[in-house]
Amino acid sequence: GAVVSQHPSRVICKSGTSVKIECRSLDFQATTMFWYRQFPKQSLMLMATSNEGSKATYEQGVEKDKFLINHASLTLSTLTVTSAHPEDSSFYICSASLLQDTQYFGPGTRLTVL
Amino acid sequence: GENVEQHPSTLSVQEGDSAVIKCTYSDSASNYFPWYKQELGKRPQLIIDIRSNVGEKKDQRIAVTLNKTAKHFSLHITETQPEDSAVYFCAASRKTGANNLFFGTGTRLTVIP
């Protein structure tokens, strides 16, 4: 149980385009979903927290107009990187919270912006 | 906010030996401490967690200890195997309604056959 999927697993796009990443909890309803960014050989940095039906809470330094988060249902959250630039290239990972504090992670999306 | 420090950043052990990774946290209100294992290019996998009302928890070869007074917690892996090689992250959170996890910087464990 507690399976989280993420799509796509890899995406390459041109600078200036937008990219949407989906995060789904497959076998449970997630009260909260989280979006992280991970640079090579570094830790996970929380970008934002989203709850179904409400606006996401962004961490300091994360541009909410650039990283749009939509949490339309208890099983789906999306992250859209708008007007992507090479510095946005990274590994983006979502997680979903089943119980009060346990988080289960998706497989990640590797974004490369040319 | 919470600050989690993790040591060492790299650790090499011989197969069969034990490995210990230590973390400290700054927020005394933190009450949940999970450990994640991440293999290259893959998702972090929860391997064990501990809550602040427990001092030690064990699951086969893996154990976690928590010292709330000193604000530190440790991961112990006994009888290490090559498949234990990965990056391990500790994390801490407190109930704020958002369950935010604050991660340590990670430890790259290499088990030498």
Between B11 and B28, whose confidence is greater?
B11
User: Residue ranges of chain A with pLDDT lower than 70?
Assistant: 1, 99-100
SS3 B79: coil
pLDDT mean over B24-47: 92
Region at B37 (left for phi over 0; alpha for psi -120 to 50; beta for the rest): beta
Q: Is B80 exposed, middle or buried (0-12, 13-18, 19+ CB in 10 A)?
A: buried
Residue-averaged pLDDT of chain B = 92
**Which amino acid, residue B111?**
V
Q: What pLDDT is attached to residue A99? A: 64
Residue in B31, B40, B103, B109 to test binding to A, most A beta-carbons within 10 Å: B103
Q: What pLDDT is attached to residue A58? A: 93
Cis bond before residue B8 (omega within 30° of 0): yes
Q: What is the pLDDT of residues B46-94, one digit of tens each?
A: 999 998 888 999 999 999 999 999 999 999 999 999 999 999 999 998 7
All residues of chain B having their beta carbon less than 8 Å from the beta carbon of residue A37 are none
SS3 B84: helix
- C-alpha distances in angstroms, A67 versus A41, A57, A61, B29, B93? 23, 11, 11, 30, 24
Q: Is B105 on the interface with A (CB under 8 A)?
A: yes
Calculate how close chain B gets to A101, using CA atoms only, in Å. Answer: 5
Q: What pLDDT is attached to residue B60? A: 96
Enumerate chain A positions whose Cβ falls within 8 A of a Cβ in B.
4, 32, 34, 41-46, 49, 57, 91, 93, 95, 97, 100-108, 110
- Has residue B95 got a pLDDT over 70? no
